[in-house]
Amino acid sequence: MTPKAVGESSAEKGEAVSTLLVGILMGSDSDLPIMEEAASTLDQLRIGFEMRICSAHRSPEKAAQYAREAEGRGIKVLVAGAGAAAHLAGALAAHTTLPVIGVPLSSSPLQGLDALLATVQMPSGVPVATMALDQAGARNAAIFAAQILALRDPDLSSRLKAYKEKMAKGIEEKDRQLQTRKGSSIVQSQK
């Protein structure tokens, strides 16, 4: 698969995007619809990324090589999404000292419990920061990567604060809309 252009849609909006900082990997193209959530979140935060497909089981040499070369290419954080016997994040972590964030996916008949356990249960000495399943996990992986990068990037830290404030405002707006329905028994019931 051709790597996704770094920060494509931010660039289209004329916003400055950082150089390549995050590698998003996934075990199969069937994971792409979910892992796009990580990409779009990084894009919103104007963080440069690339997306690649490589499998811990089907293309183990390619996965190892990617992990070994990532730091030298300037990448700072790896995000890995996989389903079923989800060993991709762990297999990458075996070959790099970059932080690896794992996103377990519910693509299998076991609906993600297999992927969750395979991702989170790393042996002592080789950590993988494991997120929630599916879209929430993919989005959180991007935010977590941003939080790591923001430790040395005050501008990104400000963008993250703005991102959180926007989220809080969104919840406040939803509550405001709910309160306009006061009087309805769905919202309030007092005997």
Under the rule (CB under 6 A), what is the footprint of ligand RP5? 27-28, 30-31, 55, 82-84, 105, 107
**For residues 49, 53, 55 and 61, what is the CA-based torsion angle, rounded to 10 degrees?**
-80
Give 27 or 90: the residue with its C-beta nearer to ligand RP5: 27
Task: Using the minimum distance from each CB to ligand RP5, give the nearer residue, 31 or 43.
Answer: 31
Q: Widest CA span of the chain, in angstroms?
A: 67
Phi, psi angle pair for 104, to nearest 5° = -75, 140
Residue closer to ligand RP5, measured from CB, 60 or 127: 60
Residues making up the chain, counted from first to last: 191
The minimum distance between CB 1 and ligand RP5, in angstroms, equals 13
Which of residues 17 and 82 has its CB atom nearest to ligand RP5 in the complex? 82
Q: Which residues neighbour 10 within 8 Å (Cβ) at sequence distance 6 or greater?
A: 16, 17, 43, 44, 46
Euclidean distance between CA atoms 81 and 88, whole angstroms: 7
Nearer to ligand RP5, 7 or 112 (CB): 112
Shortest CB 103 distance to ligand RP5, Å: 10
Q: Which long-range contacts (CB under 8 A, 24 or more apart) does 158-164 make?
A: 159/45, 159/46, 160/45, 163/44, 163/45
Q: Where are the alpha helices (DSSP H) in 56-182?
A: 60-70, 88-93, 113-120, 134-150, 154-179
Q: How far is the CB of 88 from ligand RP5 (least distance, A)?
A: 7
Could you tell me the smallest distance in angstroms from the CB atom of residue 146 to ligand RP5?
23
